[in-house]
Amino acid sequence: MDRCKTRYPILLVHGVGFRDWKRPLYWGRIPQNLQAQGAALYYGLQDSWATISTNARFLAERIDQVLRETGAEKVNLIGHSKGGLEIRMAASSLGMGDKIASITTIATPHHGSRTIDRLLQAPKSLFHIAAFALNNWTRITGDRNPDFLNVCNEFSTAHMRQFNSDNPDVENVFYQNYACVMNGSLSDINLCIAHFVIRLIEGANDGLVTVDSASWGPRTFVLRGAGRRGISHLDEIDFRRRPLCKKARPGFVSEITDVYVSIAEDLKRRGF
């Protein structure tokens, strides 16, 4: 099968808090499904808690490495959550645009979070304590440059306004973006409190990122689940390793792996 056999290799770029080079794999069944349909697949391999700029520089080197290994002229980048910001920066500020055919972001906080704005008003001592603990733990488990405090600040709306000004879309790179929605706070027990708080402050969200924040440019699509669950931030990367629901509905998502397959199919049709 070659439904996903794109002209250029696909590089999956993970989000914050996880790595895709440690088991269990960040992407669930998604890589298996893409490769079964002919996709040439690679991973970002960047840190879980490094800043956007640190990871973007690493990804620039990673892109060059993939191009050397494959002999391809360009890559297709698919970034989830914070990973979408890192590939945008690699393309724009770091001048990698001529090596990138397409950028697809999924639940990426392009406009930051007003909820984070409020949380950052808490006593700085709390953030420093959390940063000390998390940075040391993630360094032990494999991060090279963890920086929890600055990563939190990067999710503020003020920081993202400046980021967007500094990282405009690159001409001749195809951009598209996806947002997702949980139907209720109990849809994902892992994100129930976050979803409830964010919905009160900002509106519809996937448990971490709002629809408004994930919207970037004219090609933004909102994905909704076919069942009562909706689609959570963890569902977007197949965290549970099973379909969202058993029954299919036209225009709704019942199996998250199908979304990635359709993305790859569309990139292939476009000549990427």
Q: pLDDT per residue over 171-213, tens digit each?
A: 999 999 999 999 999 999 999 999 999 999 999 999 999 999 9
Is the Cβ–Cβ distance between 44 and 34 less than 8 Å? no
Kindly report the pTM of this predicted structure: 0.95
Distance in angstroms (rounded) separating the CA atoms of residues 38 and 272? 14
In order, the DSSP letters of 92-122 are: TTT--GGGEEEEEEES--TT--HHHHHHTTS
Distance in angstroms (rounded) separating the CA atoms of residues 66 and 209? 30
Q: How far is CA 3 from CA 78, 95, 241, 266, in A?
A: 17, 31, 22, 9
Is the Cβ–Cβ distance between 206 and 109 less than 8 Å? no
Q: What is the pLDDT along the chain (272 residues), one digit of tens a residue?
A: 799 999 999 999 999 988 887 666 899 999 999 999 999 999 999 999 999 999 999 999 999 999 999 999 999 999 999 999 999 999 999 999 999 999 999 999 999 999 999 999 988 888 889 889 989 999 988 899 999 999 999 999 999 999 999 999 999 999 999 999 999 999 999 999 999 999 999 999 999 999 999 999 899 999 999 999 999 999 999 999 999 998 888 999 999 999 999 999 999 999 99
Instruction: Give the per-residue pLDDT at 131.
Output: 87
Domain boundaries of the chain, sorted by first residue: 10-179+212-222+255-269
Identify which of 209, 234, 219, 216 has the alpha carbon closest to the alpha carbon of residue 109.
Answer: 209
Q: How many contiguous H segments (helices) and E segments (strands) does the chain have?
A: 10, 6
Q: How far is CA 268 from CA 10, 26, 122, in A?
A: 11, 24, 47
Q: How far is CA 120 from CA 126, 138, 149, 267, in A?
A: 10, 22, 10, 39
Is the Cβ–Cβ distance between 229 and 195 less than 8 Å? no
Instruction: Choose which CATH entry (3.90.76.10, 3.40.630.30, 3.40.640.10, 3.40.50.1820) describes domain 10-179+212-222+255-269.
Output: 3.40.50.1820
Rg (CA), the chain: 18
With residue 86 as reference, give the H or E element that holds it: helix 82-91
CA 121-216-99 angle, to 5 degrees, is 110
